[in-house]
């Protein structure tokens, strides 16, 4: 019993220390503050592990065709380039001073699975400024964005401009203000789950994948 009492006392002390630290104002929340290597490792590891764990449950479409990337090009240009930039396009000035700063998607796309990109685009990331686009966009629209992100590493500035300036496909129009219909592109078996029925930065108010 004595051991249990000591353990309970230690837990209360730790809890009190956490609460005291929170109210102390010691932790610097400024975006210009630099995190220690340990804090940065902990935050990045927690974020990456969380995304990977949840992305495993996401059913992926059968393929990422040029048509799918084409449909996602305009949406990407309108919703993502402000924070992330694009081939031949720099992000808005303040993006580099966000903490964490939005990543260059052309560089990280090869390192992320389609499921991971989809999950982040749909659900967003807390305390990074990355919004959740799932509430306003259907899953098929989000997969179009994923296909476009996957194309970024191979696009030249001219090719990117051609994609984003091409006439919109009326059958797969993206209205970024409301949840719309989904396209009828075939998807992988098992994709009929709620995850496949309903990403991307547009507003600079908030953000890293």
Quick: pLDDT tens for 100-157.
999 999 999 999 999 999 999 999 999 899 999 999 999 999 999 999 999 999 999 9
**What's the confidence (pLDDT) of residue 163?**
92
Domain boundaries, the chain: 64-209
CB-based contacts of 76: which residues, under 8 Å, 6+ apart?
A: 86, 145, 148, 149, 164, 200
Evaluate if residue 21 carries a pLDDT over 80.
yes
**DSSP output for 95-160:** GGGSSSPPP-HHHHGGGS-HHHHHHHHHH-BTTTTB---TTTS-HHHHHHHHHHHHHGGG--HHHH
Evaluate if residue 179 carries a pLDDT over 50.
no
Question: Which of 13-27, 135-149, 188-202 shows the lowest mean pLDDT across its residues?
Answer: 188-202
Spell out a b/e string for 124-163, using b for 16 or more CB atoms within 10 Å of the CB, else e: bbeebbbbbbbebbbbbbbbbbbbbbbbbeebeeeebbeb
């Amino acid at each position: 019993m004595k051991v249990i009492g000591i353990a309970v006392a230690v837990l209360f002390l730790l809890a009190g220390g956490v609460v005291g630290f929170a109210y102390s104002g010691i932790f610097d929340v400024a975006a210009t503050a630099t995190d220690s290597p340990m804090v940065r490792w902990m935050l990045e590891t927690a974020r990456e592990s969380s995304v990977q764990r949840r992305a495993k449950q996401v059913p992926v479409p059968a393929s990422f065709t040029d048509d799918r990337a084409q449909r996602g090009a305009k949406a990407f240009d309108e919703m993502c380039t402000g924070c992330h930039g694009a081939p031949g396009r720099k992000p808005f000035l303040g993006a580099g001073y966000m903490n964490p700063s939005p990543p260059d998607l052309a560089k990280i796309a090869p390192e992320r699975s389609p499921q991971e990109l989809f999950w982040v685009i749909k659900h967003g990331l807390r305390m990074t400024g990355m919004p959740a686009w799932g509430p306003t966009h259907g899953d098929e629209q989000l997969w179009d964005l994923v296909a476009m992100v996957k194309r970024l590493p191979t696009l030249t500035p001219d090719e990117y401009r051609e994609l984003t300036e091409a006439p919109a496909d009326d059958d797969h129009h993206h209205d970024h203000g409301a949840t719309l219909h989904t396209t009828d592109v075939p998807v992988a078996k098992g994709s009929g789950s709620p995850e496949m029925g309903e990403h991307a930065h547009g507003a600079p108010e908030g953000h890293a994948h």
